């Protein structure tokens, strides 16, 4: 819905085949994924603070990018 602002948090993993996506999402989180989860939560918190300070539109255009793009620019 576009009725309220939101922060997207991606879980994409290129090593997981499309037909295994549901299992990937529902299986218990593997230990090596916990560090990535912490990093992701930190990025989401930064995006939220950016939205509060700069406005949702600017923050969404800065942070709603692929992981390979730099959200700081």
The token pair at 14 is 């290129």
The token pair at 66 is 């692929």
Q: pLDDT tens digits for the chain (73 residues)?
A: 678 877 777 777 888 898 998 888 898 988 888 878 888 889 899 999 999 999 998 998 888 776 555 555 4
Cα angle, residue 17 at apex, residues 19 and 64 outer, rounded to 5°: 105
What's the confidence (pLDDT) of residue 73? 45
What's the confidence (pLDDT) of residue 25? 85
What's the confidence (pLDDT) of residue 31? 85
What's the confidence (pLDDT) of residue 49? 96
């Amino acid at each position: 819905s576009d009725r309220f602002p939101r922060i997207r948090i991606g879980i994409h993993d290129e090593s997981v085949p499309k037909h295994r996506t549901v299992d990937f999402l529902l299986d218990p989180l593997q230990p090596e994924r916990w560090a990535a989860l912490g990093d992701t939560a930190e990025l989401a918190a930064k995006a939220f603070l950016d939205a509060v300070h700069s406005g949702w539109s600017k923050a969404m255009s800065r942070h709603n990018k692929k992981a390979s793009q730099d959200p700081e620019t």
